[in-house]
Structure 1
Amino acid sequence: MTTAKQLLQTLKAFHLDNPEASWGELRDNLRDIAEEALGNPQGEAYGLVLSEVSENLAEIAETMPMGLAQAQAVVMAQRVLAAAQGRHSGDLRGLVELLNGDLKGSIGKDNQDRTFDSKDLVSASICKSLSTGISQETSTATTFQSLYDAFKAERGGDKSENTLKNWKSCTSTIVGHLKDADMSKHTRATFVGLRDALLAGGEHKPSSINKIMTHASSVIGWAVATGLIERDYTKKLSITKGSESARTAFTGDHLKTLRAWAMGNLGEDWKASAIALGVATGARIGEIHQLTGSDIYKDNGQWVMDINDKDGKTLKNSFSRRTVPLLGIPEDHLEKLSQTQGRLFVQSKSGFDQLTNQMIRDVLGIKTGEGLSFHSLRHSLSSDLKAAGVAVGIAQAILGHSSGSLAFDVYGGNAAASRGLMVEALRLVRQK
């Protein structure tokens, strides 16, 4: 249900709160709004809130008593909003037709010379609504992604291509963890959880995590300063130098303990499947999290795990795209995984990381900060392959790294040609 405060803001924006206003006065205000929409295109947040205002108008039309002039104004306001939404997606026809037709006046008179009272315009009303009027239950304009889009629209105009690329990368990582969480409701735990999940995941160095957290703080701080949200709990979350711990490999006993727990809980606990796949392949935790049933299959008699960027999945780099043989996992369990419709692991990225790493700590009886995490499975496989005398190029093909050798990078990209070599290598270190 739309709040009374939202409806009042919408009424004021269109002068519908004045029952004495004539149709001419209401029409003039609507023309101002249409000209503003034409003359001053806004960012992504503007489009999101146009939808909110449209819903408010629909509720006003359904529930509010009004005279003929107000009824005419509501009908015209709905047309203006529809045209403004079209303009937001690149279609100017609606606004042009209105300003040359039912709202005809000298367009702009001119926009350069005309001074608008910002509190009377929908665009200003929108910004106010974002900070105070939109109900928390339905606010789609306060996800981190939408706040970033608005931040970039205002602050990104004079930034270098490299800066914008870094912003985009940081935002992608943050949104991957926070999803559609409402930032107007965020708490300290929201961003502590983000930082800890990134640290536990092992895919980012502490310095990279600090860069990501700084970006999050910049966006949230800007959102508070502009009134889009009311709180900012992102400060002082950087990883201090003393807390940086190098990621280390598991010992042989660690691996035996983890493998035994995983094999004993397959089919009972989703974390057992995640850990078993990590032990077998050394894949990154993000790569495991994104797997679907169709990514586990049998190819020429050999079960494999296909790490790809299909269906919205993301990869660290082009060498991450690979097909890794699966050894050491019971065939009947792989069969069950392959029959899964959609994602193997439906948890959020942050939840997946936290719960899987906590299970590893519980099974091994270790504590946070000892340098051991899911990512240590990757270090372990790399170390074991090296100790077994496996050629660097083959190990890199398994782990999804560039070998540094153009010849093998091209050759390794051919799964059929390198599959046998990878099977032989993994059989040395992972098939028990």
Structure 2
Amino acid sequence: MTTAKHLLQTLKAFHLDNPEASWEELRDNLRDIAEEALGNPQGEAYGLVLSEVSENLAEIAETMPMGLAQAQAVLMAQRVLEAAQGRHSGDLRGLVELLNGDLKGSIDKYNQDRTFDSKDLVSASICKSLSTGISQETSTATTFQSLYDAFKAERGGDKSENTLKNWKSCTSTIVGHLKDADMAKHTRATFVGLRDALLAGGEHKPSSINKIMTHASSVIGWAVATGLIERDYTKKLSITKGSESARTAFTGDHLKTLRAWAMGNLGEDWKASAIALGVATGARIGEIHQLTGSDIYKDNGQWVMDINDKDGKTLKNSFSRRTVPLLGIPEDHLEKLSQTQGRLFTQSKSGFDQLVNQIIRDLLGTKAGEGLSFHSLRHSMASDLKAAGVSVGIAQAILGHSSGSLAFDLYGGNAAASRGLMVEALRLVR
């Protein structure tokens, strides 16, 4: 029996592709998915992914042979997805009831089996006192700093140095205001006060404050999902006026100008190659800068660009690892790039960024600080894919832009969307 690729990805995400998996193992994975949905709310596109996955599960239930454990897991997965859809609409009850009910057993078993020592992911500082018969109130037990330390221990393993640096900076700012306040007792006013204090201080732009508040929400949401605290009053505190990102997408005319210059200067100016690759893929400037000749190659007749962390290269996170089809660049130039020994671009990172962004400003007649830069190619690709009606999963596979949630498990890292579908999507916009 041949199983369609979209069903295979759903089976894999819920561990239903392993017929030997026990109900306990399947349930543990479902708990992780439920906690992810609770701790990391997604954008509007996530709702589309949830709908697609729900349809896939219904098809699996109707057509796939399965044992008792798998049947139980499918039924529970449907409940988890329904609850996740409710959470996406602002209703937390479904996920909370599952995590406190049918999925609670696996959490309790996990807690009972653990040995609390200095190597635990959740540090001892945030665990309640286990002293014999003594109930102690510890004001520092659930400070933001201690929750962040535990959050970082569990979630920081696959994050880039840049991301960890941003986390540390945001945490420092938050702790500077909240001090040793007990997050187990926080109220809405706690984080409204934080936001307003940052705004009144005048040291941070609204967009920067929103990033700090998003970080706070991620940590507190994770703490609730893992049972360290009971409440989360950090949601919907973003500043809307004046918070728009300084980086915007290029217009269609901008893209035509950049593409025309790049195509006319391939082989003559290294910056033309950088811009051509950026226009074609929407890749991050750091990803382009690190490319080597061996990262450009032909696979089953299709030229591709392999974004990876081999040979000392770094990625924003593990989800950035991907292979993107290359369209719109002459084959003879791609052949030449593929034969390059070592790095395609030998400039320093700062020099590369500065010179590429300067030529973009020169070509478009813009100035620094106006919001248009190489990164705008990424915004343009994302906007164009959305406008063309491209599936969320395929767009994420092209951009390597995912939260690591269920959406990425199903659609990311090239296992999610076939090369042919990615090519079709890119043909629509490039």
Contact 1:33 1:122 in 2 (8 A): no
**Displacement of 1:402 after TM fit?**
2.0
Contact 2:125 2:141 in 1 (8 A): no
Contact 2:282 2:378 in 1 (8 A): yes
List per-residue Cα deviations over 1:44-69 (Å, max 9, x = no partner). Answer: 99999999999999999999999999
The structure with higher relative contact order (CA 8 Å, sep 6+) is: 2
Contact 1:13 1:120 in 2 (8 A): no
Extract unaligned runs of 5+ from structure 1: none
Deviates more, 1:397-406 or 1:127-136: 127-136
**Corresponding residue SS for 1:267:** coil
List per-residue Cα deviations over 1:349-398 (Å, max 9, x = no partner). Answer: 01000100000000111111211100000010111111111111100110
List per-residue Cα deviations over 1:390-429 (Å, max 9, x = no partner). Answer: 1111001100022776366345434596211100000111
Contact 1:245 1:369 in 2 (8 A): no
Deviates more, 1:6-15 or 1:310-319: 6-15
Correspondence 1:394 to 2:416: no
Cα distance in 1 for residues equivalent to 2:13 and 2:411: 65
Distance change in 2, residues 1:142/1:381 (3 Å): same
Partner in structure 2 of residue 255 of structure 1: 255
**Corresponding residue SS for 2:132:** helix
Cα distance in 2 for residues equivalent to 1:230 and 1:405: 22
Cα distance in 2 for residues equivalent to 1:275 and 1:401: 20
Distance change in 2, residues 1:232/1:155 (3 Å): same
Contact 1:200 1:357 in 2 (8 A): no
Contact 1:323 1:415 in 2 (8 A): no
**Displacement of 1:285 after TM fit?**
0.3
Contact 1:201 1:353 in 2 (8 A): no
List per-residue Cα deviations over 1:315-342 (Å, max 9, x = no partner). Answer: 1111100000000000000000000000
Contact 1:50 1:126 in 2 (8 A): no
Distance change in 2, residues 1:182/1:310 (3 Å): farther
Cα distance in 2 for residues equivalent to 1:18 and 1:424: 31
List per-residue Cα deviations over 1:177-218 (Å, max 9, x = no partner). Answer: 999999999999999999999999999999779999999999
Distance change in 2, residues 1:341/1:361 (3 Å): same
Contact 1:143 1:180 in 2 (8 A): yes
Cα distance in 2 for residues equivalent to 1:169 and 1:211: 11
Contact 2:40 2:222 in 1 (8 A): no
**Displacement of 1:246 after TM fit?**
2.2
**Corresponding residue SS for 1:115:** coil
List per-residue Cα deviations over 1:256-314 (Å, max 9, x = no partner). Answer: 00000000000000000000000000000000000000000000000000000001111
Cα distance in 1 for residues equivalent to 2:76 and 2:52: 17
Deviates more, 1:76-85 or 1:176-185: 76-85
Deviates more, 1:4-13 or 1:138-147: 4-13
**Displacement of 1:87 after TM fit?**
56
Partner in structure 1 of residue 366 of structure 2: 366
Cα distance in 2 for residues equivalent to 1:67 and 1:395: 34
Distance change in 2, residues 1:49/1:163 (3 Å): same
Distance change in 2, residues 1:374/1:136 (3 Å): farther
Contact 1:224 1:230 in 2 (8 A): yes
Cα distance in 2 for residues equivalent to 1:134 and 1:251: 66
**Corresponding residue SS for 2:113:** coil
Distance change in 2, residues 1:178/1:199 (3 Å): same
Deviates more, 1:16-25 or 1:298-307: 16-25
Distance change in 2, residues 1:172/1:407 (3 Å): same
Contact 1:49 1:126 in 2 (8 A): no
Distance change in 2, residues 1:191/1:155 (3 Å): same
Distance change in 2, residues 1:17/1:170 (3 Å): closer
**Corresponding residue SS for 2:268:** coil
Cα distance in 2 for residues equivalent to 1:53 and 1:248: 31
**Corresponding residue SS for 2:130:** helix
Distance change in 2, residues 1:408/1:328 (3 Å): same
Contact 2:144 2:183 in 1 (8 A): yes
Contact 1:34 1:95 in 2 (8 A): yes
Correspondence 1:230 to 2:234: no
**Corresponding residue SS for 1:337:** helix
TM-score under structure 1 normalisation? 0.46
List per-residue Cα deviations over 1:71-117 (Å, max 9, x = no partner). Answer: 99999999999999999999999999999999999999999999999
Cα distance in 2 for residues equivalent to 1:108 and 1:213: 31
Paired residues, number = 430
Distance change in 2, residues 1:117/1:105 (3 Å): farther
TM-score under structure 2 normalisation? 0.46
**Corresponding residue SS for 1:119:** coil
Contact 1:201 1:374 in 2 (8 A): no
**Displacement of 1:227 after TM fit?**
47
Partner in structure 2 of residue 70 of structure 1: 70
Q: Cα RMSD over matched residues? A: 20.8
Contact 1:201 1:373 in 2 (8 A): no
**Displacement of 1:7 after TM fit?**
73
Partner in structure 2 of residue 216 of structure 1: 216
Extract unaligned runs of 5+ from structure 2: none
Distance change in 2, residues 1:6/1:204 (3 Å): same
Distance change in 2, residues 1:350/1:5 (3 Å): farther
Contact 1:402 1:409 in 2 (8 A): no
**Corresponding residue SS for 2:242:** helix
Deviates more, 1:154-163 or 1:319-328: 154-163
Contact 1:13 1:125 in 2 (8 A): no
**Displacement of 1:168 after TM fit?**
8.4
Contact 1:291 1:344 in 2 (8 A): yes
Contact 1:285 1:375 in 2 (8 A): yes
Contact 1:322 1:400 in 2 (8 A): yes
Contact 1:13 1:119 in 2 (8 A): no
